[in-house]
Structure 1
Amino acid sequence: MDDLVTTRLILHRLTVAEAENIAAERPERLPHWVPGYPEDDDVKAAQRFLTAEREGPGRHPGAYEIRRREDGRVVGGLDFHGPADADGAVTVGYGLLPAERGKGYASEALRAALESARERGIRCVKGDADHDNVPSHRVMTAAGMRRVGEDERVKYYVAEWEPERLQTAST
């Protein structure tokens, strides 16, 4: 399992054992955790990942700790909410600890995750955020997702790619 590395971040792809620690909120086993981590959404992400791994090992596109490269400390999490569906689509979620917001980390992490998803053959990544969560709207837009709709509660975003066409050599 490869980590995703950006200019300032490492998106550390969780192992099953690491996800179990997050789901159980056992910081004594993970010294790189900072106060406040994991948040409730990180615990839910770890649980989703573990469920998907039990149902079909290796199909889940990933759950990640977002770590600063400078010191390896966790600043948040990012996960896909399960394996790709029959149309090649997944939903993504992310979050940063309050002290780490407003630094561009979420957009940087999401860009890396979107590129990784595309490289893995995922055709579409979906995201959504409550109407009043303007920072998350900005994150998705900055990462290259486009707004595709809304309902009474949330705004919906998507990043889509054409399926790779097989290249054949002409003779």
Structure 2
Amino acid sequence: MTELRTPRLRLHPIDTAEGERIVGRRAGAGDDWAEDYPFDGDVLGVRGFLAATAAHGDRRPFGHYRITRAADGKAIGGIGFKGRPDNGRIEVGYGLAPSARGNGFAVEALAALLDLAGEHGLSRVVAETTNDNVASRRTLERAGFRLVGSNDGLYQYEVLLRASSGPTPTR
């Protein structure tokens, strides 16, 4: 599977070997990581990817992607699908190393994943974040998600897709 590209990022689909290096925080030959990558949140996301891969096999393109800054080739975070598509719906999660935050990279990476989901016929992408994570809530909103509910301190967001055309306005 080829990586996804945006104007400033490359989203590389990771495999089990790379996932194990990320979780172990041990860069291998050819890995070029930002100084604060991987961070705790990314390790947690990749652990989920490894568990799902062990249980269900390779789920690409609905797996986990390493976010790499095109300008310098440094890995700065991760983004991926949680679980398998279900009735045209799938959940996403993402995170960036602290040094990469505040530059719009997460919105750009989310847009690439939304395009991919639409290209594969999905109609709805969901995400959740804690109610105190204002930056993540704003990121989701800038990427076209809308708040649809809350439960136990978590805010649930969704974006409706048209196949092969990205987010559908939901307001």
TM-score over 0.5 (shorter chain): yes
Identical counterparts, % of pairs:
39
Mapping of 1:3-152 within 5 angstroms? 3-29=3-29, 31-60=31-60, 61-85=62-86, 87-152=87-152
Cα separation, 1, equivalents of 2:7 and 2:13: 17
**CA apart distance, 1:159:** 1.4
Q: Which has the larger radius of gyration?
A: 1
Which amino acid is 1:148 matched to? V
Cα separation, 1, equivalents of 2:143 and 2:162: 18
Partner residue of 2:169?
Answer: none
Q: Which has the higher strand share?
A: 2
1:99 aligned counterpart, secondary structure:
helix
Structure 1: 5+ residue stretches without partners: 165-171
Cα separation, 2, equivalents of 1:151 and 1:50: 27
Cα separation, 2, equivalents of 1:143 and 1:162: 15
Structure 2: 5+ residue stretches without partners: 165-171
Which amino acid is 1:10 matched to? R
Which amino acid is 1:127 matched to? A
Q: Which TM-score applies when normalising by structure 2?
A: 0.85
Give CA-to-partner distance per residue, 1:17-69, whole Å, 9 cap, x none.
21121122212445311222112222222222222222333335020111111
1:67 aligned counterpart, secondary structure:
strand
**CA apart distance, 1:162:** 5.4
**CA apart distance, 1:101:** 1.0
